[in-house]
Amino acid sequence: MIRTAADAPRPVRTRPSQRLALALSCCATALAACRTERVTAIGPTAEILAERTLPDGTEQRWRLQHSGGDPKLELRTRSSREVAFLGLSVKELPREQAEALGEAPWSGLLVERVNPGGAADKAGIWPGDVLVALAGRPLISSQAFSERVDLELTPGVAVEFEARRAGEARRFSLIPESRRIEDSTTDTQILEGSAAVAALTGMTVGALEPAQAQAIFEAQGGVLVIAGVQPGSPAYLAGLRSGDRITALDGRSPVSLEDLVAAVLSRAEAKRIDVASNERPREMPARPAGPLAIAVEGPLGHHQAELDPKAGLERRRSVDIPILYEWHSETESSSWSFLDFIFQFGGNGSARYLPAKDRRPARSSHLSLLPFGLYEHERGPERSRYELLWFIEWGSGR
């Protein structure tokens, strides 16, 4: 039998829509067997506690840092001062170069450059001169020379240099000019904190010593400051923020770190939360019935807060595929569903955005994708909204 081209078997072709459906089916099958969970770590935070300028112009800045573990207090000091400026640069004389110039090795400093019109130029010093003494004291090290100019010379006050030019001894009287320089130093100290308070409330605290509290806040005695707050934690939802200092605890002040630890642990025990901690004070207060009452002062002003300790503050994220797709998140929380046939055909999503820059806990939003446009609802901290008979709607609070 002879076959023609028309009789040859044709390859089976699928439509684009069929290929897309097949791909989605494969993806859904693969995802249906998957479940992922991830713990989100909170990144480092830093808060400027105070900035001050002293009468002599020195600037001081105290910054609170938290990147896990106990917080750190950083003091940065900046000041400016006038120093003598000679208008020249020098270098040491090693053996090879000294012999080429006819000088003894390490017997002086070679002048490399002279600023035109500067103090050295006006005094008659030339490049190639060898400076051998300053104010009668020999010069050998360029570093020691720089230190002497910085510490011993005064702008406008003449100083004597001894030098050699082509082997001939010379003397120069130089009047230094003035130059302003800035000095900057940073001192970091680790503050005493509490792992139990951080685990149960979501806030990292640091205890300032009386001298530190006096310098920063002009306060008498020690001060307890909040170095970091985990978004979604009881402390966060109560409006406590990094940089707040605790002024009262359960109506009492001043507040020590031991007071705070005792108050938090006693409430945790009252809620039957098992806490493994070596921070337990020797004397624990009676187990209170109500939440922890805290008064703070900070960058956002005065604030009264109430919070209850809570176990398991870590944030978790998960993915499930009961009917194609779901998404769950904790602390605070967000959720998604797609092709949810139980209630409707379409997708819904909601979320709370953290952190906030003020003491309000969060912004919330709701997304609805309904092919038949039956219902959409949005709620925020400041408003709620409902929509009917709409295809796609997106909104957010505030």
In this prediction, residue 323 carries a pLDDT of: 54
In this prediction, residue 121 carries a pLDDT of: 95
Cβ(246)–Cβ(304) under 8 Å? no
159 has which bridge partners?
174
In this prediction, residue 375 carries a pLDDT of: 55
pLDDT at 14 over 70: no
Q: What residue spans define the domains of the chain?
A: 87-175, 191-307, 322-396
Q: Torsions phi, psi of 26, nearest 5?
A: -65, -40
User: H or E element: which one contains 29?
Assistant: helix 16-32
The proportion of the chain whose per-residue pLDDT surpasses 70, expressed as a percent, equals 67
The proportion of the chain whose per-residue pLDDT surpasses 90, expressed as a percent, equals 37
Cβ(295)–Cβ(246) under 8 Å? yes
275: confidence class by pLDDT, cuts 50, 70, 90 = confident
244: confidence class by pLDDT, cuts 50, 70, 90 = very high
In this prediction, residue 360 carries a pLDDT of: 77
User: What average pLDDT does the segment 241-251 reach?
Assistant: 93
pLDDT tens digit sequence for 25-65:
444 443 333 333 333 444 556 788 999 898 988 999 999 98
pLDDT at 315 over 60: no
Mean pLDDT of the chain: 77
User: H or E element: which one contains 257?
Assistant: helix 257-270
Whether domain 87-175 has CATH 2.30.42.10: the reply is yes
pLDDT tens digit sequence for 86-95:
999 999 887 7
Whether domain 191-307 has CATH 1.10.3720.10: the reply is no
Cβ(225)–Cβ(64) under 8 Å? yes
Based on the number of CB atoms within 10 Å of its own CB, is 32 exposed (0-12), middle (13-18) or buried (19 or more)? middle
pLDDT at 303 over 90: yes
In this prediction, residue 332 carries a pLDDT of: 53
